[in-house]
Structure 1
Amino acid sequence: MVKTILDYNATVVTPITNGVNFPIPISPAGREIAVTSVYIDPANPAHYPNKVELKATIGVEAQLDTPNVLVRIWRAGSEIFYGLVELENFYNDWGLISLHMVDINAPAGTQNYQLIVENQDTNAQARVVGPVIFSAMAIGG
């Protein structure tokens, strides 16, 4: 079956390590680090069924103890994805978090996605250091 690219968008907060310095707050507080959106045109016959592929790369640094970084994606005020990453038990340990998620049959219209991080370990500290890249591609048919 033929697939149609309906829309694509990407946000590059920084393409390099040490391009940003965002502390990752302790849960339940989260920090939005990037947003992106796609437009799914209801007039396009290929708009349903659809899939929105979401990809993100986040550079992080463990500053104290063993942070458990929770990454969330929200669409229209609802959480549609979460994943937990435990950073190594070394001070100043660096790492890349990469994720790929598929939002199946997103509603027609503009869909806004938020990339959010939070630390699940109250005794640990971590920060986002870059790169931070967040992209969305809507595919119909």
Structure 2
Amino acid sequence: MVRILDKKTVQPLSRFNLSRSFIIPRSPKKVRLASITLRIPSINAQPNRVELVATVGVKGITGIAQILFRVFRDGREIFNTQQGIESAGSEQNYAVTFQAIDRNLSSGNHVYTVTAENQTANTRADVVGPISFSGLAVQTRS
């Protein structure tokens, strides 16, 4: 049996929009894309898991940028993935979607944040939207 403990979603950008775009900085700098706070109750919440899903619209500007997306819980990295973003030819706009799973959280509030950083020198990629980030906390057994 699965019991929902909490669910949060945020959508800082709801669509592709060049006028609201911003540069993904070169590592080690990063940009915070979205944050949510999930609450794990203190009673009958173990074992549990949090399912996180993020979508980020990205446009390649110069070169082939390697964008590192990271997910943090309470300031500690728990997940990362990397996506190559081309800037010429047919591949310039991307909707990058990824999922992360966090297990057996202690009770209380937990802040999840998704960030992006460009790992490749002399390239540029911009966030152009949409951006969405959601989390679902569930108890995995009764």
TM-score, normalization by structure 2: 0.93
- 2:109 corresponds in structure 1 to 110
- 2:53 corresponds in structure 1 to 55
How far, CA to CA, are the matches of 1:60 and 1:110 in structure 2? 30
How far, CA to CA, are the matches of 2:108 and 2:65 in structure 1? 37
Residue type of the partner of 1:33? L
How far, CA to CA, are the matches of 2:21 and 2:106 in structure 1? 34
Cα RMSD, aligned residues only: 1.4
State the Cα distance separating 1:88 from its structure 2 match: 2.3
Structure 1 gaps of 5+ residues are none
Residue type of the partner of 1:71? F
Residue type of the partner of 2:15? I
Structure 2 gaps of 5+ residues are none
**Which aligned pairs between 1:1-141 and structure 2 lie closer than 5 A?**
2-18=1-17, 20-43=20-43, 45=44, 47-90=45-88, 93-140=92-139, 141=141
Residue type of the partner of 1:129? V
Q: Deviations over 1:79-122 (max 9, x none)?
A: 00000101125178110100011101122111100110000001
How far, CA to CA, are the matches of 1:122 and 1:24 in structure 2? 12
Residue type of the partner of 1:40? I
Q: How many residues align?
A: 138
How far, CA to CA, are the matches of 2:71 and 2:22 in structure 1? 18
| Secondary structure in 2 matching 1:97 | strand
Runs of 4+ in 1 over 4 A off after TM superposition: none
Identity value in percent:
32
